[in-house]
Amino acid sequence: MSALSWKQYFIYQADYQYWANEVLFECLGRLDPKALDEPQGLHFSTIHRTLDHILVVEELWRLRLQGESPIVDFRTLHHPEWRELKNALRQEMRGLQHWLEMKPDAFFESEIAYRSTESKERRNWVRDVLTHMMGHMVHHRGQVSAAATRLGTPAPEMDYIYYKRAVDTALAQNRKE
């Protein structure tokens, strides 16, 4: 078996992030909807604001990868409607995955230049930016998961290995059909 390219690795990671978000959404769907907007001791206070932050940061980094340097206000709730936020996060992750599929392998070995939120000129390797993006989502989903568990929902199983098992099961099922 050949080694996994950076491109294929990050395509899988984007698919995993989409899957893990869905697992979290299912968990959060068991909560009283009011709990999503009540302070939970999170860095961004509420579950809703934390997931809005995830989306805004993912959009910011995707735009940077596309050569833009947008200005973002992290204090603003960008998606005040819960359903809109979930759909926007779904679209962002699928959009990122499809965009990565279209990029040549050399893109993943390149550097990007951008202006930081503090207006500083920065440079990073694409693979480091993508690693940051994926880790950022895992980090904040873990915080939200802890808050949801504290509020009484069963802890969601969002680890990568559970995603991999689900994918392998689906592939095996498709081979049988």
The residues spanned by each domain of the chain are 6-171
Residues 64-83 have pLDDT tens digits of 999 998 888 888 999 999 99
Q: Are 160 and 16 in contact (CB under 8 A)?
A: yes
From the centroid of its chain, how far is CA 61? 11
Short-list 127, 125, 97, 96, CA closest to 113? 125
Q: Report pLDDT for 94.
A: 98
Q: What is the pTM of this model?
A: 0.93
pLDDT above 70 (res 44) = yes
123's enclosing H/E stretch is strand 121-125
Q: Find all residues with CB under 8 Å of 36, minimum gap 6, and list them.
A: 28, 46, 47, 48, 82
pLDDT above 90 (res 176) = no
**Summary count for the chain: helices (H), strands (E):** 5, 2
* Superfamily, domain 6-171: dinb family like domain (1.20.120.450)
